[in-house]
Structure 1
Amino acid sequence: MRSSVPRSDAVPDQRTALPRWVAVGVLTLATFLVVTSEMLPVGVLTPMADSLSISPGAAGASLTITGLVSAVTAPVVPRLLGDLDRRVVLAAAMVVLAVGNALTTVSDGFGTLAVSRVVLGIGMGTVWGMAAAVATRLVAPRDVALAVSFAVSGVASASVLGVPLGTLVGNAFGWRAAFGSLSVIAVAVALALLFALPTLRSPETAGPEGDDGGRRSLVRPTVVTGLLVMVLLVTAHFAAYTYVRPALEELPRLSADTIALLLLLYGVFGLVGNFAAGAAAGRRPRPTVLLLAAGISVAIAVLAGFGDLAPAAMAAIALWGLAYGGLSVGGQLWMTSAAPDRVEHVTGLYVGVFTASIALGALVGGLVVEGTGILPLLWSTAALAAVSLAVGLLGPRRSRDREP
């Protein structure tokens, strides 16, 4: 994870100063906010659909819209930035996110909701796509893995903490208040980014006409294998997780407040999973991701097979949170270890694939739920997660250096 060109933002010492850790913290808050904004419809799906007079499947499809836009934005933005200050770009993206959440707040039907999610996807793709690459430039070399873990923990904690907290706000004050709050916070984070981050120009040498200057292509066996694993696993996860509230309403027949608390339990285990997986993936990212794939598959299968029993449903949700909580950081470290010479670009590509898989998962989940119901959705997604594990086990491995 090194830059090919010395920059003034590099940390020359063996220790990272406190202001740089503060900058990493603000970056983490930004990733937390963008992914919370994307995923919040999961927690308020039923009241949101009722208020807008649309089906739960249509409300869930709003995640598909955001994911598709983010999937295009994340890999494209690093190639367009040139030597622009990444600090200013990140702050501007947070303002775009604030506008998207504000538009969601005033939506009166699926059309305006769709527009708001397009705007939100642009901000999300930019922030998430740049977060890990920027984090590596804020700290001393020995702290890079930890900084990436913190930055990406915003992604994990958004799904595992942001959604439950947003659900609690939605239950208490209405789903529009939850999105309105996110809009206000996004503006505050934009200002914090401007003050906390140093000036960050392009980290890599570009060749003539903005090409890659002869650097190796990202089409490498370990990168391709990792991306394929993530496509299958993230698609499976989000196809099921998008409809976790209806599943918990239908199988163990839990109340709205109980579901919110159960999602909070998911969040606690997810945070544990994020940092545990970050520590493990810093040494062996590929085996770590495959262990997480096994955990997600087992958790969804338990929910499908024994979800009508409340204790079994709770155990499944806890395991699911533990496994998924480490997935984003594990996958990120797999990618950057496979292409350390192209960190900013491989990060954008990874996030693009990840968010496209979110979109695909939400779309597939909606089609299956509308067509066959909750149980077939859970069983099929558990099987798909198991397929991702098989692909990772059978895929090509590097013959030298550390196994990613």
Structure 2
Amino acid sequence: MTSTTDQPQTEDVAEGRLPWFPLTLLAAIGFVLVAMETMPAGLLPVIADSMHTSEGTVGLFVSAYAIGTVIATVPAIALTRSLRRKPLIMTAIGVLLLANTVTAFSPDVAVSLIYRFIAGAMSGTIWGMFATYARRISPPRFAGVSLAIVSTGAPVGFALGTPLGSFLGHALTWRWSFGGLSIIGLIVLALIALFVPDAPGQTSAVKLSVAKVFRIRGIAIILAVIATWMLAHNTIYTYISPYLRATDTGISAGLMLLVYGIAAIAGVIITGALLDRHPRPLLHLSAGLFVITGVILLVAHTSTIAILVAAVLWGVSFGGASTQLQAALTTAGGENADVASAFLPVAFNIAIFAAGIFGAALLTAFDGLVLAVVMIVFGTIAVFLTMVGRRSAFPAKL
């Protein structure tokens, strides 16, 4: 892997075409990453029984993955930003799949946790590369669309990957769920090797330290929006079952999350259609609709129809949030977009970790309806921050 100052000149870029298939392959890896991170949550009892441990200990499979992402992402991206993108992402995917395969065969919880941490570190590195890699292999006029395409893997992973892994784990064994995901990842890796073009790293002349990238105008407020909005989302997403029990509607968590996941894919599509031309109003509308969703979940919590409508609005409003905020980070980061975009998976996973603790604390004192209040309060703060950073962080055009 070598550094370069050349700009990518793939056939698609040169002829102004959008590289649909390469971007779709990157999205497929996004699906693998999300399914790999969240799959243990749907398999807690069977993994615990198989490894002769508690469900709480198995829950650390998710925590170890998230901590690996938080600790490793920014340093990894900062240290490798001069390297060419394709060899780097292929190496990270290879190590990720190796770690996941070891987890699938490991009889020891401690060994599994170590390799879950390694998988999380590789996942963060891959997520940190997605935005800039997608933009570098796409014509500039398709910047928003390219980000939207590679972002579809996450909602599809949430909607289908975790339930599918849970089904396989209960029907066969949880080790088949992990092993099957490694096989899918290996197939996608082979296709990336064949069809995804390379892209250059960052030139040494424009490198800034991580601290200086953080101080770039607009970066801090974008991260503040990410922190508040993600906390609002992840708190109720993580504890959707207690919320639904408090409604007495009989809606299952599986149905709620499936409706949300399908709607989130629609949210990504809408984002792809509008992001290049109207990024700022799209962000305001998405965050505002998210708050409205929280109001419906609180005020109309006894209505089955209202809750399912809210699930649709939730998915549509939040499905494109990652893409929109990633676009804002890469635009604000400019020549240092690699490091700037690496802040996003770190902020996401910190929010996931904090939401678990925050939600658990709230549910010891209140019933599940308090989670809708969290959604409203922190969602409103996020809307306010998007208004405060209207000119400094969220451009009218990408």
Equivalent pair of 1:64/1:363 in contact (CA under 8 Å): no
User: How many Å apart are 1:331 and its aligned residue?
Assistant: 0.8
Equivalent pair of 2:31/2:161 in contact (CA under 8 Å): yes
Q: Do structure 1's residue 379 and structure 2's residue 377 form an aligned pair?
A: no
Equivalent pair of 2:301/2:307 in contact (CA under 8 Å): yes
Deviates more, 1:292-301 or 1:28-37: 292-301
Equivalent pair of 2:228/2:379 in contact (CA under 8 Å): yes
Equivalent pair of 1:272/1:325 in contact (CA under 8 Å): yes
| Map of 2:75 onto structure 1 | 76
Q: Do structure 1's residue 40 and structure 2's residue 39 form an aligned pair?
A: yes
Equivalent pair of 1:77/1:126 in contact (CA under 8 Å): yes
Q: Secondary structure at the match of 1:162?
A: helix
User: How many Å apart are 1:153 and its aligned residue?
Assistant: 1.8
User: How many Å apart are 1:226 and its aligned residue?
Assistant: 1.3
Equivalent pair of 1:296/1:319 in contact (CA under 8 Å): yes
| Map of 1:392 onto structure 2 | 386
Q: Do structure 1's residue 206 and structure 2's residue 200 form an aligned pair?
A: no
Superposed, 1:75-114 pairs within 5 Å as 75-81=74-80, 83-105=82-104, 111=110, 114=113
Distance between the aligned counterparts of 2:197 and 2:364, measured in 1?
49
Q: Which runs of 5+ in 1 are unaligned?
A: none
Distance between the aligned counterparts of 1:155 and 1:176, measured in 2?
22
Q: Secondary structure at the match of 1:339?
A: helix
Total equivalences in the alignment: 391
Equivalent pair of 1:63/1:358 in contact (CA under 8 Å): no
Distance between the aligned counterparts of 2:234 and 2:393, measured in 1?
33
Distance between the aligned counterparts of 2:154 and 2:114, measured in 1?
23
Q: Do structure 1's residue 295 and structure 2's residue 289 form an aligned pair?
A: yes
Distance between the aligned counterparts of 1:249 and 1:317, measured in 2?
16
| Compared CA separation, residues 309 and 188, structure 1 to 2 (3 A) | same
| Compared CA separation, residues 321 and 211, structure 1 to 2 (3 A) | closer
Distance between the aligned counterparts of 2:278 and 2:87, measured in 1?
34
| Compared CA separation, residues 366 and 237, structure 1 to 2 (3 A) | same
| Compared CA separation, residues 211 and 341, structure 1 to 2 (3 A) | closer
Q: Do structure 1's residue 177 and structure 2's residue 171 form an aligned pair?
A: no
Superposed, 1:246-261 pairs within 5 Å as 246-248=242-244, 251-252=247-248, 254=250, 259-261=253-255
Distance between the aligned counterparts of 2:242 and 2:172, measured in 1?
21
Q: TM-score, normalised by structure 2?
A: 0.84
Q: Which runs of 5+ in 2 are unaligned?
A: none
User: How many Å apart are 1:230 and its aligned residue?
Assistant: 0.6
Superposed, 1:236-385 pairs within 5 Å as 236-248=232-244, 251-252=247-248, 254=250, 259-369=253-363, 372-385=366-379
Letter of the aligned partner of 1:54 in structure 2? S
| Compared CA separation, residues 339 and 212, structure 1 to 2 (3 A) | closer
User: How many Å apart are 1:321 and its aligned residue?
Assistant: 1.4
| Compared CA separation, residues 112 and 299, structure 1 to 2 (3 A) | farther
Equivalent pair of 2:225/2:386 in contact (CA under 8 Å): yes
User: How many Å apart are 1:242 and its aligned residue?
Assistant: 1.6
Identical residues among aligned pairs (%): 24
Distance between the aligned counterparts of 2:372 and 2:45, measured in 1?
19
Equivalent pair of 2:290/2:318 in contact (CA under 8 Å): yes
User: How many Å apart are 1:116 and its aligned residue?
Assistant: 4.0
Q: Secondary structure at the match of 1:374?
A: coil
RMSD (CA atoms): 3.3
Deviations 1:298-348 (A, max 9, x none): 324433444454323322222211122111111111222323332222211
Distance between the aligned counterparts of 1:301 and 1:120, measured in 2?
37
Q: TM-score, normalised by structure 1?
A: 0.83
| Map of 1:143 onto structure 2 | 142
Letter of the aligned partner of 2:346 in structure 1? G
User: How many Å apart are 1:273 and its aligned residue?
Assistant: 0.5
Equivalent pair of 2:280/2:395 in contact (CA under 8 Å): no
| Compared CA separation, residues 48 and 287, structure 1 to 2 (3 A) | farther
Superposed, 1:154-165 pairs within 5 Å as 154-165=153-164
Distance between the aligned counterparts of 1:375 and 1:100, measured in 2?
39
| Compared CA separation, residues 40 and 290, structure 1 to 2 (3 A) | farther
Q: Do structure 1's residue 229 and structure 2's residue 225 form an aligned pair?
A: yes
Distance between the aligned counterparts of 1:106 and 1:362, measured in 2?
28
Letter of the aligned partner of 1:81 in structure 2? T
Deviates more, 1:8-17 or 1:347-356: 8-17
Distance between the aligned counterparts of 1:109 and 1:33, measured in 2?
23
| Compared CA separation, residues 13 and 316, structure 1 to 2 (3 A) | same
Letter of the aligned partner of 2:16 in structure 1? R
| Compared CA separation, residues 140 and 301, structure 1 to 2 (3 A) | same
Distance between the aligned counterparts of 2:245 and 2:166, measured in 1?
15
| Compared CA separation, residues 283 and 48, structure 1 to 2 (3 A) | farther
Deviations 1:149-168 (A, max 9, x none): 10122223322333344344
Letter of the aligned partner of 1:73 in structure 2? A
